[in-house]
A and B are shown apart, each in its own frame.
Chain A
Amino acid sequence: MTVIHKSPSGSDVRGLTRRGLLARAIAAGATFVVGGGFVAARDAAWAVETAALKPETMAVLIQMARDIYPHDRIADRFYAIAVKAHDTPEQAQVIEEGVAGLNLVAQAQGFEGYLAAGWEKDRVAMLRMIEHTPFFQTIRAGLVTGLYNQKEVWPVFGYEGESFSQGGYIERGFNDIDWL
């Protein structure tokens, strides 16, 4: 996975120090900064490098992913991981065109671009306008597995995953409900 988790000290990861990264970045909406070949969180807690897509495009995809499946207790980096699969030469054209189209929709709504809309409801209204496009459906369908099949997000939902190695739940609360 190409999402780089920055350590709290901002130590050097692939030459992207926190300070250096922020110095080379410009704002992309309220949440992200983008620079040459990367998208990062505002606090530079994580960054994702892009290969085939423009960093600005990746920033839109990450926000779009959250707006499609908004879970306030799931961090942006998991959405970044989920959409990173589209960062391929094969998909680049379709994705770039799709994001450009979404930005045009935003401009028609009086925003500078998709990321410039500060309220989720405004962005969701734009997504509703494109939800039948192959672009939207590709992103949404990819998220179903790309987001929810990340084992790291399962604890947010309380889901415990694999249980055989722990002997199942026969001794671990299969019938422990106490409020009925």
Chain B
Amino acid sequence: MADNMAKFGHDDASVVVVVGTGSGGGVLANELAQRGVKVVALEAGGRYLPEDYINDEWDSFAQLSWGDMRTTSGDWRVARDFANLPAWIVKAVGGTSIHWAGASLRFQEHEFKALTTYGPVDGASLLDWPITLADLEPYYDLAEKKLGVTRTNELPGLPGNNNYLVLEKGAKAAGYSKVSTGRMAINSVDYDDRMACQQTGFCFQGCKWGAKWSAAYTDIPRGEATGNLEVRDHSHATRIEHDDDGKVTGVRYIDRDGTEQFQRARIVAVAGNSIESPRLLLASASERFPDGLANSSGQVGRNYMRHTTGSVYAIFERPVRMWRGTTMAGIVQDEAHHDPARGFVGGYELETLALGIPFMAAFMDPGGWGREFTSALDSYENMAGMWIVGEDLPQETNRITLNRGETDRFGLPVPNVHYDDHPNDIAMRNHAYAAGERIYRAAGATRVLPTPPYPSTHNLGTNRMSENPRDGVVNKWGQSHDIPNLFVSDGSVFTTSAAENPTLTIVALAIRQAEHIAAEMEKGAL
């Protein structure tokens, strides 16, 4: 924490309150602070820095994960395998930017125009974004500089580890050509006062070198150093209040001592990830807004997306030792385009992934047992692995709701996460499993393990951006259609999911939103 860290009074109605400090909220808070805007950031979790991170999967999970009770429904396999853990995200200052693997890809132009490009798809609530790639490009530039993305701004690519070398060999033998160690927010050389990657592994557990970008040790302390940002950790937002004019007035939260507090605000920006953000809006229902804040469209909580995922692990005759080095060490992008001839709309990326033995046992085939299971683990040393990340389609019925039958430790209804796979998602996943198998067979695999999806790391779309207020929750600035001084600043604003890992786009949108908010405040319009 900076020596001159700001302290703002609960009655100070001039501050912007940002709920959440991850890739969206943490970046927004810093970018506003850099522009001279006073910010109070409320963070439900604690403060952990690289020296605190743990090179141990379960210990780290206990330290960093958002473990609050949640419930699930729908036909997705996560509801069966991890009924109370639909998402694998972080509760800490810096949010899920501590946990992410670092893949930093720009969306493709057509992905901002999903409805136009794909046409209507039965059962899907497809929509074009109210912005285009051209609108976002200047902010992608800024985001790539902020994150130190490899293969941008003349930063070299990372070297490939064993897991990557197997992927590369197989992918090229299988006829793929867009194979590389990718664009990663992991320093390939010292950059921005952070050192270069030491190929330690444990990227999901927080980078102990600080080589991977995280808001926890970049944007947050830099924002605090301006004297304009106060981060209150262990502060769990429970309700946003509004006045008779329908403008928001501040945020109620439970502080570290369990005491309810109210922080007044000029503007509120919600960035609690795509489960908590709609939960907070829904939980803020009032006489005037009986369906929750910003919800005249009925779209708050709907169109929950989590990417079409799955993994392919494969066993080879000789050791791979996939856990050594960066977790997401390389990518195949040949299937990322849109080509309905494959039997689905949208595309997918294949990215290496490695789990340690504790997580491999938990995630390889949840519920599985017996020799089919253990003989695979016996060959763990000879395994390579990749993760599928593809565009899943928004569906109105895939949604976050308040489960009034289950309450959290504050007595508040927990969020329920409902997700049914769309036939397009299933077709894409099966195509990707086959592609993964082809790649690894081409590299000499003796056994291939098509592994089901993990709890969601990419949670998207539950407060989506739309041109027309009828179709979504926020406009192209992330500003609520209904309430001008209420913003959403995380992946929940995604209109569609695209095929790419979302963090770079969340960061780009947050920078753009900060610029907009600061300018509007300057004009007196907010």
Contact = CB atoms under 8 A, between A and B. Distances in A.
Chain B interface main SS type:
loop
A138 to B, nearest CB: 13
B370 A148 contact: no
Interface in B338-360: 356-358, 360
Interface in A142-166: 144-145, 147-149, 153-154, 157-165
Given A169-B201, A169-B324, A170-B199, A180 B443 contact: yes
B380 A159 contact: yes
Given A124-B370, A162-B55, A164-B200, A180 B356 contact: no
22 contacts: A69-B369, A69-B373, A140-B367, A148-B358, A148-B360, A157-B377, A157-B380, A159-B323, A160-B321, A160-B324, A161-B56, A164-B55, A164-B200, A164-B202, A168-B325, A169-B199, A170-B197, A170-B199, A170-B325, A177-B165, A177-B320, A179-B318
A168 B356 contact: no
Contacts of A172: 324
A68 interface: yes
Given A68-B369, A158-B321, A144 B361 contact: yes
Contacts of B319: 158, 177
A180 to B, nearest CB: 5
Interface stretch (B156-164, B233-241, B506-514): B156-164
B388 interface: no
A154 B357 contact: yes
A119 interface: no
Interface of A: 68-71, 73, 124, 131, 140, 144-145, 147-149, 153-154, 157-165, 167-170, 172-177, 179-180
A32 to B, nearest CB: 21
Contact of A173 (B200, B324, B367): B324
B421 interface: no
Residue of B159, B318, B369 contacting most chain A CB atoms (<10 Å): B369
Nearest to B380: A157
A146 B200 CA distance: 25
A145 B361 CA distance: 8
A7 B382 CA distance: 34
Contacts of B162: 173-177
B362 interface: yes
A68 B372 CA distance: 11
Contacts of A160: 321, 323-324
Contact of A68 (B197, B318, B370): B370
B378 A164 contact: no
A119 to B, nearest CB: 13
